[in-house]
Structure 1
């Protein structure tokens, strides 16, 4: 049957499949495996996770090479693994080293087309960052997350400052790195548009914190997207002047009882042209622990950052995308609706129950195109009222798990519950399948899990 249809038709069918379904189709017969492996466009953007490379045979490596895999996450790797990886996939453009097992990564120079590099969760300290020098004219994205560095902050900044092609820089650490200001490194990264930085060591940001040394007056940076982790620092409007071009701001609050002043008011007043805002109140527990906690207990421990009411009146009217993982009440959403009437993308994840909030969304945010919510404590009627969002095309449910036995709360199944499957089916029927419902999403393989 398969041979009776032209290959072009099968390739068109395969183009609609997910990565998992494509891999499943490869296993059905040698003809489909040949078609899929030889069609490079079908695998554009495909990423693969590799660990213990000795278990992979030549046939496996050949299949990856035929698909021109461009992004790899290598777990628990060593120098010899990089050489093996280069032998089969010399044209890698993206590489993440998770739990790297040696003190240096010198063999990265073998990858002449590498543009995206991420080093995460290394238990063995990196002696220095000299391995970045050969990549200085090719790297456009660099991520260092939960990496032990024995080098000084000055060496770090001097090395990163030579990566003049960087458009994205992410540095997340435990507070051991003391960098008084970002002005020095920003002076050399003229192409940088995305910056993600840990702020745990800062209590007050100096007026020149973001000001490149060679800039004078109110010269603006090229930064469009800024993420601040563990943030709880005092800031002034003068400090924020170089960020006038910023369009996206994400603040992950430090886990602490907030002080009397909400510093977000200063940020929002100084950046009136933001189109994307994400506010996350940090919690004592990592996200996966929430599954086992009651709503009341979650609220008791979720005290990082101020409640939405403290800064809702300062939200820019230019907002199109908003993420709220904070303490908020129904009246706060009404203020948000008045301040950002054209909102198109909303991620709503309050620390308390969202049961009283979901029913308000069609009335308050009629222009929504994408929505991310939790559903566990939302009634069926309120969930199905989302059909009234006439422009909604994508709904992502963030808590697609359930407890099959109410008497055993420790047993959790991480897949959509029968109730959720029924609700999503009903919603799609009511919207004539206009709304795409996502119950499990996968982020960028090269990204860390902090944001």
Structure 2
């Protein structure tokens, strides 16, 4: 009882150190804590909720969300009537994800006058058109259409996208049925666009004007504002002329369609055309040895989910001596690679690796990375019974927990170790 008499400001300071899950647990302990938590907007900044089976939610539930000023919601298996209910209780919603949308249209989106982030993904029902985008043309900043069946012509989709002139981020992932010969007509209108994620499965050779702006644009404005580009199912032939409008690009992610796309490694062309690249992510495609010599010295972040050997990392360390962020998932075992990291990349601040085939000594050698502050273990699961490999426990094994404890002691708890990634429920999960 004495604890409850502490000033509200002190409790709110304590609550600010809790995770979302812990905050939700604390608010269930008593009405005093529930009122403190629900009425403190700052404690819930960035908080998103996942809603399904709307019949379960009563007015007190909706009021609790409204009190917390929740601005991000993911609706699963929803219908139009659910959007009407959502707009009534949370009219100031800024971010919305529709997962497995069950109807052919989403016209009710016009009810959300402050909506800035929209994601429509994994729809079992085809979308007949994208007319729902037109009322949002002056407010949407981020749009994601992922694994959505579109029965409208590609020209209609591109016309709708061209109206979203405030977009800073656009994601369009499809099954290859969308035939788009060039993006120039869209990119010319999206002058604020910084991030683009696009499926490239049908493009065998990119036309010279694929990334170009329309004619009539002044020479000083000929370069796109794009800083982040992500290409899925990539198998395209490209030239340096095609890539000329991407001179401001700082981050490139390539997810190859095939393990080895062909005899020519076109990633070499990309790297030669982007000498100021800061971040590179490569998944599949040619072995690292095919393009390691072309890595720009400006690289600070590198993701490699490819075929590579220890000698390849030696080349990478010479080409990118200031690397600070590394995500390493080689196709072969990484047991011979991790022990090299402290010598090759002494400036690493964050590292993502798998640990299953590492020896204890190789894992603990990471304490030699003097600037490392975050280590993420990507395979935090184990099989407790060697006789039954189908039995998998999706949590850190006792061995991994012991290794983490020893590493933190060796680094005086300088290194934070993450064993499970908490993804944004509003983000695309296909990459």
Give the match for residue 113 of structure 2: 112
Moved over 4 A (4+): none
> Does the alignment pair 1:443 with 2:428?
no
Question: In the alignment, what sits opposite 1:235?
Answer: 238
Q: SS at 1:450's partner residue? A: coil
Q: Are 1:370 and 2:350 counterparts?
A: yes
Distance 1:423 1:56 in 2: 43
Query: Once the 2 structures are TM-superposed, how far is the Cα of residue 2 of structure 1 from its aligned partner?
Result: 2.6
1:257 to partner: Cα distance: 3.7
User: Is 1:95 aligned to 2:75, yes or no?
Assistant: no
Superposition pairs of residues 15-54 of structure 1, within 5 angstroms: 15-54=16-55
Summarize the alignment of residues 382-421 of structure 1 with structure 2, pairs less than 5 Å apart. Answer: 382-421=362-401
Take 2:25 and 2:421, find their aligned partners in 1: how far apart are those partners?
19
Alignment of 1:113-262 (within 5 A): 113-214=114-215, 215=217, 219-262=222-265
| Match of residue 318, structure 1, among 291, 295, 298 | 298
1:225-374 matched pairs, under 5 angstroms: 225-281=228-284, 305-374=285-354
Aligned length: 428
The alignment's TM-score, normalised by the length of structure 2, stands at 0.98
SS of equivalent residue, structure 2 residue 122: strand
Q: Distance in 2 between matches of 1:409 and 1:255?
A: 29
3-state DSSP of counterpart to 1:189 = coil
Q: Partner residue of 2:82?
A: 81
SS of 2:148's equivalent in the other structure is strand
SS in 1 for 2:165: coil
Runs of at least 5 residues in structure 1 that lack an aligned partner in the other structure: 282-304
- Give the equivalent residue in structure 1 for 2:8: 7
Equivalent-residue separation in structure 1 for 2:260 and 2:326 (angstroms): 26
- In structure 2, C-alpha distance between the alignment counterparts of 1:392 and 1:242, rounded to whole Å: 36
Give the Cα–Cα distance (whole angstroms) in 2 for the partners of residues 22 and 172 of structure 1: 35
Separation of aligned partners in 2, 1:437 and 1:30 = 35
Distance 1:223 1:400 in 2: 35
Cα RMSD over matched residues? 0.9
Q: Deviations over 1:372-429 (max 9, x none)?
A: 0000001110100000000000000000001111110000010111111111111111
Q: CA deviation at 1:448?
A: 1.3
Paired residue secondary structure (2:149): strand
Separation (CA, whole Å) in 2 of partners of 1:227 and 1:47: 25
Q: Distance in 1 between matches of 2:328 and 2:3?
A: 46
Distance change >3 Å, CA 152–CA 237, structure 1 → 2: same
**Alpha-carbon distance in 1 for matches of 2:203, 2:236:** 6
Stretches of structure 2 lacking an aligned partner (at least 5 in a row): none
* Structure 2 counterpart of 1:300: none
TM-superposed CA distance for 1:217, in Å, is 5.6
| Cα displacement string for residues 62-114 of structure 1 (whole angstroms, at most 9, x for unaligned residues) | 11111111111100000000000111111110000000000000000000000
Residues 279-314 of structure 1 deviation map (CA, whole Å, 9 limit, x = unaligned): 011xxxxxxxxxxxxxxxxxxxxxxx1010000000
**1:324 counterpart SS class:** strand
Inter-partner Cα distance in structure 1 for 2:261 and 2:188: 33
